[in-house]
Amino acid sequence: MKVLVTGGVRSGKSRHAEALLVGAGAVTYVAPGPAADDADWADRIAAHQATRPASWTTVETHDLAAALALACDGAVIVDCLGTWLTAVIDERELWDAPSAQVTAVVRELVAEATAALARRSADTVLVTNEVGLGVVPAHRSGRLFRDLLGTVNQELAAACDEVHLVIAGRVLKL
């Protein structure tokens, strides 16, 4: 089963995603976001790590396609696509690049990840943020991120068997 779990910040997405794999045995937890660059971010990462079973293996990487391919034998959880997108744009210094250039890079990486996901036979859960329900961001970087993550979410959702929307800890299967 391949599941995309989406929802707002602090909606319960990660808790739900982890619960989907609690009985899966060996699980690879892919953490594709940026490194802890401040105390609040470090605390948030530590809180997530504390909830994972000791038997789970954590892989920190921005290479989403490679992580999905390497963990081909067991279940995988990727948490989360929003932090992955931020890390990708950061490491390539694309925040001020023309939108078409950034979109081309992200689409290529998503195509690679989608192909890796399609080759997986083990349970896979992808966690992402739902960014399309709020106001239009005032700054270019916010609009760029919102639009790109919307595209990432659509393309990976199309490659999944199910999409779960989490709101206030409640799950809706779409």
- Enumerate the active-site residues: 48
Q: What are phi and psi of 62, to 5 degrees?
A: -100, -5
Nearest by Cα to 29 from 8, 69, 58: 58
Question: How far apart (Å, rounded) are the C-alpha atoms in residues 152 and 164?
Answer: 16
Residue 42: other Cβ atoms inside 10 A = 12
**36, two tokens:** 């802890």
For residue 169, what is the DSSP state? T
Which amino acid makes up residue 68?
L
Judge residue 75's burial from the number of C-beta atoms within 10 Å of its C-beta, 0-12 exposed, 13-18 middle, 19 or more buried.
buried
